Amino acid sequence: MTDNAKDPKHAVAPTGMKRGLTSYGDQGFSLFLRKAFIKGAGYTDQALDRPVIGIVNTGSGFNPCHGNMPQLVEAVKRGVMLAGGLPVDFPTISIHESFASPTSMYLRNLMSMDTEEMIRAQPMDAVVLIGGCDKTVPAQLMGAASAGIPAIQLVTGAMLTGSHRGERVGACTDCRRYWAKFRASEIDEEEVSDVNNQLVASVGTCSVMGTASTMACIAEALGMTVPGGATPPAVTADRIRVAEQTGTVAVKMAAERLTIDRILTPKAFENAMRVLLSIGGSTNAIVHLAAVAGRLGHKIDLDVLDRMGKETPVLLDLKPTGQHYMEDFHKAGGVATLLRELKPLLNLDTMTVTGRTLGEEIEASGSGFKQDVVRPFAAPIYPQGGLAVLRGNLAPGGAIIKQSAADPKLMEHEGRAVVFENIEDLVARIDDDALDVKADDVLVLKNIGPLGASMPEAGYIPIPRKLARAGVKDMVRISDGRMSGTAFGTIVLHVTPEAALGGTLAHVRNGDRIRLSVARREIALLVSDEELEKRAAANPVARPKASRGYRKLFLQTVTQADEGVDFDFLRAESLQNDSASEQNKG
């Protein structure tokens, strides 16, 4: 036996089926038993001696965005075997945006915990994360970041577009547009039923720059997918080839021990923010990036994001900010086309799953070709980044507005507050013809933040029906909740601290004046500090509680939007210590 073999510091870490042996008090027996059981599935010793690549299978009958999961899993397995590995797929929770009650955000952290613990519990040298629908990709990145082994993301891909009466349509910006027409009595029940059959033309994620497409592009910008992995539509041969390539790369990552922390660095998150701003991406991505970064001890600084936004224009002409769809972006060369334009602003030395740097991958993608989906840097679709960070007495911890999808006439606005205390109040009164509301008012919805209602996508407050029928298309709307990336309008979101935590938002009253100034990055309640203190004293806010189960855990430990709406105990230990220090100072 060599000296190195005797020294635990130099001991070779177990690999393959020898990793993480179940505790029976006898390591040899543990491996013997494991191999005996898996051989029941027909494996040979030769197969079991290969590096094991786990494949997260999130197929579900409740998740049509993941409807191509069987084909993707088989293609990944093929790629793993071609590279000499042993592929083993396993299930985790699967979350679909439209099938999760009360909201998919409520379950994102649970999915991340499921992902992390299954990676830790089962023997694998690397893991392929297959996700697509809005919260699944961030949940997988969060879980894998905490688990720490080599990991690579494979997204399911966007759906194809449909056609309604000669017009090209796709989920879900057009879903909202046609529903708004229906609410305004511009179309009848027959037409809204007809278009409902065409909005989702195939399996896959939304065909516009919603949260799913945003997270796909961000995953590629972070270096977590194979080059070109973000944009191939779900039902194309390109998507299947990307899946096979993903399996092959996973084996290489396992051999090189290219762990996720070497890829998800602070510089990589800066690149992700640049891409987010340049694609007019979903506001949800800010929350998800903060959560993923927090698992590794990094922070997403909203002020840095805002400074980046002032020098990073929107270059992608894609709904809801532009006119095209994800399949057009793919045909235009995908994320590589965008990265070539952004190259002067990017950290080119960041590592990717291929073992090459982002700069090397951009160079390898070639010089590009003529297309009209990604604009030249000198001729952007919008002069600044899609998102802006607002602060003021209404949002001391920050708020977000998607300025590229807002009405320019409302970006500097002062109006009277029309307040809804919660979702139930909104539902009960928004379509009441007796509602005291005018087009220049500011709609305020409270108590839909992380604690108030698990942060649903209810921030896209509908235009009151009587105003919609009168032709009003947009109003300033403010909440502590979220908005789908497929939505549009002059909407202020993620107000922090939220109303349910006693933030200023909790004390806004009907008739108060509110000022929005995107130019000054301000969201202000025009009420004196003294008056706000009186209101807070008269109506103290108690943190919501639950008696049992996951909801109790959620309400006890969930953080605010600026920290990713993650559970405080799941964040990196360094950030937990920072939070504890701040609380002690307070």
Tens digit of each residue's pLDDT (9 = 90 or more) over 194-230: 999 999 999 999 999 999 999 999 999 999 999 999 9
Domain boundaries defined on the chain? 1-42, 50-160+202-364, 162-196, 387-538, 549-585
Both tokens of residue 229? 């992995």
Q: How far apart are CA 26 and CA 67, in angstroms?
A: 43
Q: How far apart are CA 418 and CA 429, in angstroms?
A: 11
Over residues 454-468, the mean pLDDT reads 95
What's residue 3's pLDDT? 44
Q: How confident is the model at residue 581 (pLDDT cuts 50, 70, 90)?
A: low
Regarding beta strands 522-525 and 395-402, do their DSSP bridges make them parallel or antiparallel, or are they unpaired? unpaired
Tens digit of each residue's pLDDT (9 = 90 or more) over 257-277: 999 999 999 999 999 999 999
What's residue 272's pLDDT? 98
What's residue 5's pLDDT? 44
Q: How far apart are CA 401 and CA 569, in angstroms?
A: 29
Task: Report whether pLDDT(283) > 90.
Answer: yes
Radius of gyration over every alpha carbon of the chain, rounded to an integer in angstroms: 25
Contact of 227 with 364, CB cutoff 8 Å: yes
* Nearby residues of 241 by Cβ (< 8 Å), 6 or more positions away: 75, 232
CA 504 to chain centre: 27
Phi, psi of 475 (to 5 degrees): -145, 160
What's residue 88's pLDDT? 98
Q: Tell me which fold the domain 50-160+202-364 belongs to.
A: Rossmann fold (3.40.50)
Q: How far apart are CA 480 and CA 19, in angstroms?
A: 44
What's residue 151's pLDDT? 98
DSSP 8-state assignment for residue 203 = S
> Options 3.50.30.80, 3.30.450.20, 3.50.50.60, 3.30.950.10; which CATH number does 387-538 get?
3.50.30.80
Over residues 280-300, the mean pLDDT reads 97
Please count the CA atoms within 13 angstroms of the CA of 483 that sit on its side-chain side.
34
**Residue 17, helix vs strand vs coil:** helix
DSSP of 377-398, one letter per residue? TTS-SBSS-SEEEEEETTEEEE
Task: Report whether pLDDT(183) > 80.
Answer: yes
Task: Report whether pLDDT(501) > 80.
Answer: yes
Both tokens of residue 139? 């949940």
Distances (CA, A) of 572 to 146, 309, 583: 8, 27, 17
DSSP 8-state assignment for residue 319 = T
% pLDDT > 90, the chain: 93
Regarding beta strands 151-155 and 86-91, do their DSSP bridges make them parallel or antiparallel, or are they unpaired? unpaired
Q: How confident is the model at residue 464 (pLDDT cuts 50, 70, 90)?
A: very high
Task: Report whether pLDDT(586) > 60.
Answer: no
The widest CA-to-CA distance across the chain, in whole angstroms, is: 87
What's residue 1's pLDDT? 38
User: CA 578, 583, 586: angle at the middle one, nearest 5?
Assistant: 130
Tens digit of each residue's pLDDT (9 = 90 or more) over 44-71: 999 999 999 999 999 999 999 999 999 9
Task: Report whether pLDDT(8) > 90.
Answer: no
Q: How far apart are CA 566 and CA 246, in angstroms?
A: 28
Domains 50-160+202-364 and 387-538 share a fold: no
